[in-house]
Amino acid sequence: MHSPPTHKAGNLLDLVILRNCSSSDPTVTPLHQSDHHLISFSLPLAPLPPSPPSTPTVMVRRNLRSLSPSSLASSVTASLPPLESFSNLPTDSASSALSSSLSSALDSLCPLVSRPARSSPPSPWMSDPLRPNRASLRAAGRKWRKSMAQSDLSAYQSRLAAFSTAVTSAKINYQTKIHKSASNPHQLFSIFSSLLSTPLPPQSSLAADDFTVFFDEKIADIRSSFTSTATLPPLCSLPLFLHFLSPH
C-alpha cells in the first residue's frame, strides 16, 4: 500500500503491512504533538459467520397444584379391573397394573409441561451457609401458600427477615473483600475473573515436540533456499599488504 510521507521531514518511516487484503485509500494527517503523521485507511473485511443458536435448557415438570385428588382417584379406579379380580392378581401383576393406571391418569389430568430454565449465574456472595437458609425460606413460603394460616405466614415472614439480613451482611463482607484487595492486583483480578465468569482458553492438541519439529523444518527450508557460494579469491596477497604498511 503506497502512501505519502509519514514524517514531517518527508520520509516514509511508518509502514502498514497487509496480508491477504488490500487498501487503496490511505490518508496521512500531520499531528502537532508528534513528528510522525497519523495514517488512516479502511480494510474490506468479510462479515463474520453467524454463530450457531444456543440451545436453551428446558425443564420438564407437572403442575401438581392443578391436580384434583378426587379426579385422580376416579381416573385410577376406572382404569383398574374390578376389586374382586384385582385382589386375586399376583403381587407383581397388581403392582404393574396400579403403576400403569397412575401413569395414565397423571398424563391425562396433569400432563408434562416443558419450559426454559433460568440460566442466571449464582451470586458470588451466596455462600454455603446461606443456601440452606434460602431452601428453608422457600419451603416456609410454600407451606404458607398451601395452608394460608396466620401462623405459617408469621413463620415465613420471620425467615424472610432473617434471610434478608444475612444476604445484606454477606454483600457488605464481599464488598469489603474487594476494597481490601485494591493493593493486591493479583487477588483483585482473581475476584473480578470469578465475577465475570471468563471462558476457559481453548485446548490445543499440539505438543512441545510438534513445535520443535516445525522450527527444525523451517530452519532446514531456509538453509536449502541458499545456493552454495564458491570460495572467493583473496583480495590481496600478504606481501602486497605488507608493502603498503611498510614505511617508505
The 10s digit of each residue's pLDDT in 146-185 is: 888 899 899 989 889 988 888 888 888 777 777 777 777 7
What is the distance, to the nearest Å, from the Cα of residue 96 to the centroid of all Cα atoms in its chain? Answer: 46
Does residue 178 sit in helix, strand or coil? helix
Each residue's pLDDT tens digit, 6-36: 788 877 777 777 777 776 677 888 877 788 8
Each residue's pLDDT tens digit, 41-76: 777 777 777 766 666 677 788 888 888 888 888 988
Residue 53: predicted pLDDT: 66
Tell me the residue length of the chain. Answer: 248
Task: Indicate if the pLDDT at residue 238 is higher than 50.
Answer: no
Each residue's pLDDT tens digit, 200-219: 655 666 677 777 888 888 88
Each residue's pLDDT tens digit, 100-122: 998 998 888 888 888 776 666 66
Q: Which is it for the CA torsion 147, 149, 152, 154, positive or negative?
A: positive
pTM as predicted: 0.34
**DSSP conformation letters of 63-117:** -GGG--HHHHHHHHHHHSPPHHHHHTS-HHHHHHHHHHHHHHHHHHHS-EEEEEP
Residue 194: predicted pLDDT: 65
Average pLDDT for 213-231: 74
User: Does residue 128 or residue 108 have the better pLDDT?
Assistant: 108
Residue with cell 409441561: 113
Does residue 36 sit in helix, strand or coil? strand
